[in-house]
Amino acid sequence: MKQSIESFHLNRFQEWVADLKCGHVVTMRHNPPYQDCSWVGSAKGRQAHIGDIQECVNCDMPVLPEGLKLVEKSSLYQQDTIPDYLESGYTTDAGVWARVIVKTGLLQFIVHSQPATGFILDEYLSGVLSPGVRHDIKPAMGDVEFYIEYYGE
């Protein structure tokens, strides 16, 4: 979904991040020739790009329906303790929604809907699992800590 840039801030890796109108963020990496963000280092450059339109993949994340109750919370998983069943084609029980919450690091989250969509989860973006849909939940790079909340009616 296309969203406009409202402001910029530095993340904890000292990278410039664009704050989008939808509330999601996009890291502005200078990566020529694919992405030219040389302007992002200067206040003037950032000011000139307020209002720019960015594609926000995070807007494609399913939304947890309102009114569900938290029924279970998993233990804290790390990159080397992720259960195998989560890593390839995990589907929740019938009628059960779930939310993947990352405490530290980055997690790869693939939703096998039509078409399949991939997300990188971090402490700001949690993943939502819809019932009946397969998901892959894998470490993206380096250390990661996360847990899963299960919701039902």
Q: Which is nearer to Zn ion, 23 or 41 (CB)?
A: 23
45 to 64: interface string for Zn ion, x by CB under 5 A: -----------x-xx-----
Among 5, 8, 18, 24, binds Zn ion (CB under 5 A): 24
Burial class (CB in 10 A: 0-12, 13-18, 19+), 65: exposed
φ/ψ (deg, to 5) at 43? -60, -40
126: which 2 tokens? 């949690």
Q: Which is nearer to Zn ion, 22 or 120 (CB)?
A: 22
For the bound state, the minimum distance from the C-beta of residue 23 to Zn ion, rounded and expressed in Å, comes to 7
> d(Cα 96, Cα 92) in Å, to the nearest integer?
6
For the bound state, the minimum distance from the C-beta of residue 22 to Zn ion, rounded and expressed in Å, comes to 3
Binding piece for Zn ion, criterion CB under 5 A, among 17-25, 63-71, 94-102, 141-149: 17-25
- DSSP assignments along 48-106, one per residue: HTTT-EEE-GGGGS--PPTT-EEEEE---EETTT--HHHHSSB-PPTT-EEEEEEEEEE
Q: Which is nearer to Zn ion, 61 or 144 (CB)?
A: 61
Q: Which residue has the tokens 């809907």?
A: 113
If one asks whether residue 26 binds Zn ion (CB under 5 A), the answer comes out as: no
* Binding interface with Zn ion (CB under 5 A): 22, 24, 56, 58-59
